[in-house]
Amino acid sequence: MNFIESMFEWLLATTLRASAMAVAILGIQFLLRRWLPPQWRHALWVPFLLVLALPVLPKVPFGIFPQRSSPANEAPALQVAAPATSALPAMEATTAPVVAAAAPKVNQWALAWLAGSVIMLGIGIASYQRNMRRIKRAAVPMDDSLRQSLARASREVGLQRKTLVIVSTAVDSPAVTGLLRPALLLPAGFPTGFSESQARLILLHEFTHLKRLDLPVNWLTCVFQAMHWFNPILWFAFARLRADRESACDAQVLSLDQDDHRSDYGHALLKLQSAAPQAGFNLGFVGIFERNSELKTRIRDISSHRKAHPAWKAAGLSLIGALTLLGATEAQERKTQRETTKEDAKVPKDPRQVAIEKKLDAIVIPMVKFEDTSIEEAIDFLRIRSKELDKSESEPAKKGVNFVIRAARTGPPLQPKRLTLDLKEVTLRKALENVAELSGLRLSVDAYAVTLAPQGDADAAPEARENKPPTKAMLAASKIIIPIVDIDGASLEETVDFLNLRAKELANGAEVPQVVLTPKAKRDAKIKELRLRNVPLGEAVRYVAEAAKQPLAADDEKLSIGF
């Protein structure tokens, strides 16, 4: 999967979550409209913005949205190709199994989304730059009385940095703009037509936007709106967010001092109404009016303004916290039939087995697509992807998971099957479970690898199934620990020679059991990517036999591979 498709899939999941969040927020506002102060009405949109902004959502047991992995961790998808012949690699070579990268094919819907987003942002940025050039060309000098009024208003609000002020004949209504260097835009002649109190309130309103950091949030929402241009629910939500922002700013201005300025503030808004900007995608500007249609609501809020009760701090934070926990999080993966049984829980697992189990659940593959694919090709694909997406290991040699397809020890041999599978955003475990189910195999995990074996076939070796004690050769082999077994594409004969050589080197004079191939053994069978660490010789031989789909037998002198 290419980057554009990954982004598009993340966006679709995000737009659904954000739509549900917006509906919930609007519902809460409707139910509590008589009691909810404007400041907290606006603050309720914080979880909504978090949903839109976070590439990866935290996972909690009570999350209501299903899991989705971070696109940042995704790698390009691979597809299994037809097997190809190649020269035999040497022992511990790193030649990859027969899996090739698929030619990137960008989804048409993803391209349409990208084109729409680029057009929206392009139009917004071009319009913003054009307006700023027009405003700066029409700038006029600022008189001393206005400069003094601006200084007083800035101090009242508590701004720490000096604000650029542009007075221009091209400005119709007071507004703030900019990102790295915010600017206050005022119409030429301001504050003509306003009383001293009204002009002060207008300036306080604009400086309060800067104090509240409404400008960077406005830029962010404009980007989100361009990205979600196809979703009318989010367009409505963004409009409500901007309207609530203005009401919250009004309430904060009226709370700056003890005097009642509601009448002056309301009359100032009425005078500015005719100069208010048109509703639309106003990138980069935050004005005292966003929509003329919101005037009635703002006047009503101003006329009924009173300081929020202290209890609203706890209530508002609780509402925001609940929305964040339920909406801006993901549900932890539900337990399935692989859940640990009570009997298993009593027996502590090998830490190496636990590490493999964690990898199976932590590695998420963006796309698994098989079309008429053999089991071996499918496992090769998953083996490669597990290495590429394994973020838990820093050493390349330790990345990924070992996979072994074992031949039947009892009953009929494993029948070859062709797989067709199409999965997206799936954990390595889920992908394996699907492959195993389609192939009629079962999974087992131990300290060194994941083994796929025929259903109903016993795990234990013949002597263990018959309750026989281990042979002398098997006991001796269990005492020889090989630090590294790194095999990729070597033949069975080469692998056995390697194990015999390493066993002699590590025995330190102790008895060394011989690993031999029977006359019927498939000496040219390839061992694909088997990487074991600190493994007993007996275990290494078992894995090699299973990887080559050959039986293993042991007596007092040797370990025999082959029929």
Q: Cα 535–540–545 angle (5° rounding)?
A: 165
562: left (phi over 0), alpha (psi -120 to 50) or beta: left
Query: Within the chain, how many helices (H) and strands (E) appear?
Result: 19, 20
Element (H, E) at 515: strand 514-517
**Of the listed ranges 111-120, 219-228, 383-392, 503-512, the one predicted with least confidence:** 503-512
Tell me the CATH architecture of domain 460-563: 3-Layer(bab) Sandwich (3.55)
The pLDDT score that the predictor gives to residue 328 is 63
Element (H, E) at 424: strand 418-427
**Of the listed ranges 96-110, 185-199, 235-249, 267-281, the one predicted with least confidence:** 96-110
Higher pLDDT, 329 or 47: 47
Res. 427 pLDDT band, cuts 50 70 90: very high
Q: How far apart are CA 55 and CA 10, in angstroms?
A: 8
Residue 442 bridge partners (DSSP): 453
Place of tokens 């915010």: 182
Q: How far is CA 92 from CA 247, 370, 501, in A?
A: 69, 29, 14
The model's pLDDT over 74-85, given as tens digits with 9 standing for 90+, comes to: 433 334 333 333
Position 86 pLDDT exceeds 50: no
Q: First and final CA of the chain: distance in angstroms?
A: 43
Q: Please, where in the chain does CATH 3.55.50.10 lie?
A: 460-563
Q: How far is CA 40 from CA 122, 201, 288, 326, in A?
A: 33, 21, 19, 18
Position 130 pLDDT exceeds 80: yes
Short-list 175, 177, 103, 172, CA closest to 138: 172
Right CATH for 334-457 from 3.40.720, 3.55.50, 3.30.300, 3.40.109: 3.55.50
Radius of gyration of the chain, Cα coordinates, nearest whole angstrom: 34
Q: State the burial class of residue 67 (Cβ atoms within 10 Å of its Cβ: 0-12, 13-18, 19+).
A: middle
The model's pLDDT over 494-553, given as tens digits with 9 standing for 90+, comes to: 999 999 888 888 887 777 888 999 988 888 988 877 778 778 888 888 888 888 888 888
Position 394 pLDDT exceeds 60: yes
The pLDDT score that the predictor gives to residue 237 is 92
**Of the listed ranges 81-90, 111-120, 199-208, the one predicted with least confidence:** 81-90
The pLDDT score that the predictor gives to residue 93 is 36
- Please report how the helices 232-254 and 214-227 are oriented relative to each other, as an axis angle in degrees rounded to 10: 170
The pLDDT score that the predictor gives to residue 412 is 60
Q: How far apart are CA 255 and CA 232, in angstroms?
A: 35
pTM of the model: 0.54
Q: How far apart are CA 258 and CA 195, in angstroms?
A: 19
Mean pLDDT value across residues 61-88? 43
Q: State the burial class of residue 384 (Cβ atoms within 10 Å of its Cβ: 0-12, 13-18, 19+).
A: middle
407: left (phi over 0), alpha (psi -120 to 50) or beta: beta
Position 192 pLDDT exceeds 50: yes
Position 72 pLDDT exceeds 90: no
Position 66 pLDDT exceeds 60: no
The model's pLDDT over 352-377, given as tens digits with 9 standing for 90+, comes to: 888 888 989 999 999 998 888 888 88
Q: Cα 528–523–562 angle (5° rounding)?
A: 100
Percentage with pLDDT > 70 across the chain = 77
Report residue 401 CA to chain centroid gap. Answer: 22
The model's pLDDT over 235-294, given as tens digits with 9 standing for 90+, comes to: 999 989 988 898 888 888 888 877 777 788 778 888 777 655 544 445 667 766 555 556
Mean pLDDT value across residues 400-411? 73
Place of tokens 């091209």: 170
Output the average pLDDT for the chain. Answer: 78
Q: How far apart are CA 305 and CA 257, in angstroms?
A: 13
Q: Report whether 286 contacts 222 (CB < 8 A).
A: no
